[in-house]
Amino acid sequence: PQRSHLVGFGSYLPKKIVTNDDLAHYVDTSHEWIYERTGIVQRHISDEQETAVYMGTQAALKALEFAGEKAEEVDAIFVATSTPDQIFPSTAARIQAELSIKHGFAMDITAACSGFVYALATANAFILSGQIKNALVIGTEVYSRLLDWSDRRTCVLFGDGAGAVLVKAKNKEGGILSSHLHSDGSIGDILYVDGALGIKDASGYIRMNGREVFRHAVMRLSEVVDEALKSNGMTKESVNWLVPHQANLRIIKAMGKKLGLMDSQVIVTVDRHANTSAASIPLALDEAIRGGRIKKDDTILLEALGGGLTWGAILAIY
């Protein structure tokens, strides 16, 4: 049977780095406060040229190069983003154009910080159904646009960037073993963007009840990780690497501990990237694979939770 294998990885980070100390000039905060509660030291912030389309395209080109595949061979592009440059054409269609791809299809998927897990699960479903033989799955985010730079409770947490993975159907064991998606719209008000274009009196900024998000993250991610292992008849000992969404080091550590993993088996980028939402997992994957940490045949567990609420996990063999 055909399975979806992860064959290419790429990422892009904006040139400008903003440290915690830099932020302390704008809002009443400190490096110590931010670092102790989140593990964040710095974040990358986009300039006007570093749009969602530009960064996603750069990440996709690197993933194609890694895999030794040509853009014109790509059947589908799934882009996870909550910060598109425009409502439509989709970010995915615009990246398709940047890559001069004329066949197949492209679509955006919006699931906030769970976006990459949702997009990869979608690509996997299309591959398993035989409708496509490969796909670019991209997370690209410009959260700096959604931040109220006078709100210290949110502006210190996020950064910009993009990551991409090329998945390919292969008649070979391994690859994506299973995906597990969940949402609960009834608690959407603990993390949301206030309004959209044309909505009266909307600020357009992120609003968050940090404590509630923290509580749900630990609970829901624990459940979904158990579900992923159980559905494959696996125990936590089978997992070589946790590649979590990078929101907060305390949530990441809690999940590593739950899985009985050593700190060295948990991929962490939140210290340098902060929370890049749907881009955080492919950014972390790219770094861990190019850095030689995750190796062929290793079992990796991806998990994320975000606004919606949405959450999910994917178990795969590299």
Measured distance CA(101)–CA(81) in Å, rounded: 20
x/- contact string, 86-125, with ligand ACO (CB under 6 A)?
---------------------------x------------
Residues 6+ apart with CB under 8 A from 69: 7, 8, 134, 166, 168
C-beta of 126: minimal distance to ligand ACO in Å?
A: 26
DSSP at 275: B
From the list 294, 268, 264, the residue with the least C-alpha distance to 283 is 268
Site for ligand ACO contains 152 (CB under 6 A): yes
238-277 binders of ligand ACO (CB under 6 A):
245, 247-248, 275
Among 61, 111, 191, 270, interactor with ligand ACO by CB under 6 A: 191
Stretch that binds ligand ACO, among 50-58, 101-109, 177-185, 205-213 (CB under 6 A): 205-213
Site for ligand ACO contains 51 (CB under 6 A): no
CB closer to ligand ACO, 121 vs 191: 191
Query: Residues with catalytic annotation?
Result: 113, 245, 275
Q: Which residue lies nearest ligand ACO, judged by its C-beta?
A: 210
CB closer to ligand ACO, 167 vs 191: 191
Strand partners, 138: 79, 164
Measured distance CA(37)–CA(35) in Å, rounded: 6
Count of residues engaged in binding ligand ACO, rule: CB under 6 A: 23
Site for ligand ACO contains 33 (CB under 6 A): yes
| Cβ-based burial of 201 (10 A; exposed 0-12, middle 13-18, buried ≥19) | exposed
Among 306, 312, 314, 317, interactor with ligand ACO by CB under 6 A: 306
Stretch that binds ligand ACO, among 46-54, 84-92, 153-161, 181-189 (CB under 6 A): 153-161
Site for ligand ACO contains 157 (CB under 6 A): yes
Measured distance CA(316)–CA(297) in Å, rounded: 9
Among 41, 73, 210, 258, interactor with ligand ACO by CB under 6 A: 210
DSSP at 288: H
C-beta of 19: minimal distance to ligand ACO in Å?
A: 13
Measured distance CA(309)–CA(303) in Å, rounded: 14
Site for ligand ACO contains 140 (CB under 6 A): no
| Cβ-based burial of 69 (10 A; exposed 0-12, middle 13-18, buried ≥19) | middle
Measured distance CA(302)–CA(289) in Å, rounded: 14
Residues 6+ apart with CB under 8 A from 154: 147, 148, 205, 206, 207, 208
From the list 181, 44, 193, the residue with the least C-alpha distance to 119 is 181
Stretch that binds ligand ACO, among 33-41, 45-53, 167-175, 264-272 (CB under 6 A): 33-41
Please report, in angstroms and rounded to a whole number, the separation of the first and last CA atoms in the chain: 17
Among 38, 81, 122, 269, interactor with ligand ACO by CB under 6 A: 38
Binding residues for ligand ACO (CB under 6 A) = 29, 33-34, 37-38, 113, 152-153, 156-157, 191, 208, 210-211, 213-214, 217, 245, 247-248, 275, 305-306
